Amino acid sequence: MDTRTRSHQNRRDGLQPVGDRTVGASGLSQVFSILAAGAICGLLAVMFSISAAALLFSGDLSEHITIAIAVCLVGTIVLNCVIAVFSSCPGMISVSQEVTVVALSVTAMSIYTALAGARSEADIIVTIVVMIGLATSVTGLCLLAMGHFRLGRLIRFIPYPVIGGFLAGMGWLIVVGALGVILGHTLTLQNVHVLFDAGNVAKWLPATMFAVGVGVMTRRTKNSLILPTAVIVVLAMFHIMASAWGLSVAQLQSSGWLFAAVSHDSIWPSFDSSMLAAVDWHAIWTETPKIIALVAITATSVLFASSGIELSVRRTVDLDRELRAAGIGNFLAGAGGGAAGFQGLGLTMLGHQLGAPYRATGVLVAIVCAAMLMFGSSLLAYLPTPLFGGLLLWIGISLLYDWLIAAYAAIPRREYLIILLIVLVISAIGLLQGVLAGLFFAVVLFALEYSRVEIVKYAVTGKDFHSSVEHTDEDRQFLSSHGDRILILRLQGFVFFGTVHKLHEQVAVRLKVEAEPRLRFLLLDCRDVTGLDSSAAIGLVKVGRDVRRNNAVLLVTNLCETAARQLDAAASRSDAGSHPGQFDDLDRALEWCEEQLLQDWADRPQPDLNACIDDQLARILEDAELSQVMLQYLERLELEQETTLIRQGERSKDIFFIEHGKVSIQLETPEGANIRLRTLGAGALVGEISFCLDQCRTASVITERDTTVWRLSNEALEKMTLERPTITSLFNSYLVRTLAERLTSTNRLVRLLTD
């Protein structure tokens, strides 16, 4: 397929091609789009990085905000350069995200609290920066490994309520962190009263109004320019009002309205190798569980963000490739002391809407961030802290709205309670504990919900469901009248302790029902069983023990090899005789049960072993004389065991009467397996359906022992029709009755299985 054909097909399917576009193909308009999108998205990336930095070093660490800004900007720069090149979606823009920064912030504050008073402030900051870089690099290696082993599909195994609770909990932490940014110190339950101080209300109330206003407008209009416009307007209004009131930059900084200026132009602090000696490695090691949580958070977020980008920009995204790109980016960012991050949904959407879905856009965003890192420290003196607190509040409130308000009407109450529980645990104890609690309760909820699924797909008796063996009329009548002593239960799904208990109860009730005939055989058909655990295997052994105590037999069919071994192991630890019998398929097991019932029939009529073709034809035509005439048109064949009488797919040209022996009708599947459909003996007719319909054979017929058959060919039938039309008419009537009886039996069984 050439490039034009592939592009046309992708446009027809609603997806853009994953390959990059060449800038030179469209000239200056594309260059302008890239420059405009890179500048706008770059400035927004800078703002988001500063907001994330304020969250990273909030509260007691806020006086070191410039270090946090440098850490976040370095992460954003490296991530954009790497992901822009290696992403499966051109135009991908990345940033040090608040979601990952929250986890790093919790870890940083834990280290600061543990070392405060015991180590110098400089040693603590160096330890925290090293922890951030190390955690980011470890996260990158894990993401790279996940992408290499193609584990992008893991996102589908995370329970939806756990994801929702995690995102809602992150929203809560972001809101708390945003308030800490605005107030200048960490907000806790002990000092929550400071929110209502007049000076603090004047800070967080406008920030909250900004967050709510931006949130409402973006949800209603879906316009990507609302955010940058709102930021520009707020900045202008802030400085106009400050100028009108005669407030200087120094006064605004001292009162916490502006970030404190630094004494040098570059934001990036000067570290040297000698400072590594001051790192407290033990403090970092104790934070290993939180770093593991960061890995899980980042991996989940990468997959979620990439899936959202795929839907939003209508491009095919390779999740495993995105994991690898984010892995390389985070590893290199951590090596440079940067914070963890991943693909940004909002900025990527904005870049595409601005007409710049090119890899160069991400590189240009990195250049803008690098310029801010190296030369933009003086700009920090003009950035109001409530603005960045408002940006964080917007993100946090949006997450809380989506997962605590909008989700209330969209998901079942039980799942919503799990989301609420995770948020409460995260807010009261911690992020990792909340996620673990959510996983635990999600597993419990899944077990309870799955145990309510009916394990028995359908239940039939041997009175309505027979084996494929063709019995004599007398045997068939006996089995129909005594077949309710055979109970067939077709199981489904994954069998575990919850569902096998329900099966045990159902069987116990059937064994005690006096109104029903005494059960002789219980067949459990496991064709639709996907697996069973050890408790289910023990439960099946217990069912077999109860069945045996009631002088019945338990048979299990269609078990996979693994499940069969589990059942054997469970039975070997039980008392002798409780081992359920196993058959490869239901038909063989049912044939064995029918044979056992027939053997118990004391007055069973013995078949006439000397019966010949004359008797069969006389029964078909209901006239002994006519049978002798019809015999002249038949050809006698002697076949050895394992001889193919009819081959599947061949053209039908004859029909066979079985005089002695037995044949098996087998269907060959596309995979090459043979399925036994029916077993016919003396007195049966075979090949009649394809013969009547004049079509290819739908199955093969193979002899199970030495067999004698009589062949009626198409030519012989045409000759008989011309010479003996009465015999042909009687024979056709017999064929119609036979097919009608089989259709009636099949319809009755279908109705029974679908009721």
Q: What is the pLDDT of residues 321-372, one digit of tens each?
A: 999 999 999 999 999 889 999 998 767 876 776 678 899 999 999 998 998 8
Looking at per-residue pLDDT, the higher value among 4 and 711 belongs to 711
Superfamily, domain 613-754: Jelly Rolls (2.60.120.10)
CA pair distance 675, 52, nearest whole angstrom:
64
List the domain boundaries for the chain. Answer: 23-266+275-443, 456-599, 613-754
Instruction: Give the residue among 291, 281, 295 at the shortest CA–CA distance from 141.
Output: 295
Beta-bridge partners for 679 = 469, 664
For residues 433-443, average pLDDT = 78
Quick one: pLDDT band at residue 49, thresholds 50, 70, 90?
confident
Nearest alpha carbon to residue 388 among 542, 183, 565, 568: 183
Strands of 89-248, DSSP E: 94-95
- Contact between 92 and 356 under an 8 Å Cβ cutoff? The reply is no
Q: Phi-psi category of 15—alpha, beta or left, where left has phi over 0 and alpha has psi -120 to 50?
A: beta
Residue 653 confidence (pLDDT) above 80: yes
Give the confidence band of 284 by pLDDT, cuts at 50, 70, 90.
Answer: very high
Lookup: tokens for 494: 């994954």
Q: What is the DSSP letter of 401?
A: I
Q: Find the mean pLDDT for residues 512-517.
A: 77
Please tell me the distance from the alpha carbon of residue 117 to that of residue 153, in angstroms, as a whole number: 46
**pLDDT one-digit tens code per residue, 176-202:** 877 877 877 667 777 778 788 888 888
Residue 149 tokens, joined:
């082993």
Q: What per-residue confidence (pLDDT) applies to 478?
A: 87
Q: Which amino acid, one-letter code, is at 588? A: R
Q: Give the distance, in angstroms, between the CA of residue 437 and the centroid of all CA atoms in the same chain.
A: 21
Q: Quick one: which of 75, 80, 79 has its CA closest to 38?
A: 80
pLDDT of amino acid 206: 87
456-599 with 613-754: one CATH topology?
A: no
Q: How far is CA 247 from the centre of its chain?
A: 57
Rounded Cα distance, 544 and 35, in Å: 75
Q: Which residue has the higher pLDDT, 449 or 3?
A: 449
Asked if residue 347 lies in contact with residue 41, where contact means CB atoms within 8 angstroms, the answer is yes
Share of the chain above pLDDT 70, in %: 87
User: Architecture of 456-599 per CATH?
Assistant: 2-Layer Sandwich (3.30)
Q: How confident is the model at residue 451 (pLDDT cuts 50, 70, 90)?
A: low
Q: What is the mean pLDDT of residues 4-29?
A: 44
| pLDDT score for 3 | 39
On whether the pTM is more than 0.85, the answer is: no
Specify the pLDDT at position 22: 42
The confidence score (pLDDT) of residue 232 equals 83
Residue range 673-702: mean pLDDT, rounded: 81
Contact 294, 100 (CB under 8 A): yes
Residue 349's pLDDT is what?
A: 72
The two tokens of residue 247 are: 């407030």
Secondary structure of residue 430 in the 3-state scheme: coil
* Residues 183, 200 contacting (CB under 8 angstroms): yes
Residue 21, pLDDT > 70, answer no
pLDDT greater at residue 753 or residue 11: 753
Question: What is the model's pLDDT at position 361?
Answer: 92
Q: What share of the chain is helix, strand, coil (3-state, %, to 5)?
A: 65, 10, 25
Residues 6+ apart with CB under 8 A from 435: 162, 165, 166, 169, 293, 296, 422, 426
What is the mean predicted confidence (pLDDT) over 71-93?
A: 93
Give the model's pLDDT for residue 367: 93
Sign of CA dihedral 613, 619, 620, 623: positive
From the list 646, 729, 717, 738, the residue with the least C-alpha distance to 687 is: 646
SS3 702: strand
Give the integer Cα–Cα distance in Å for 445 and 323: 30
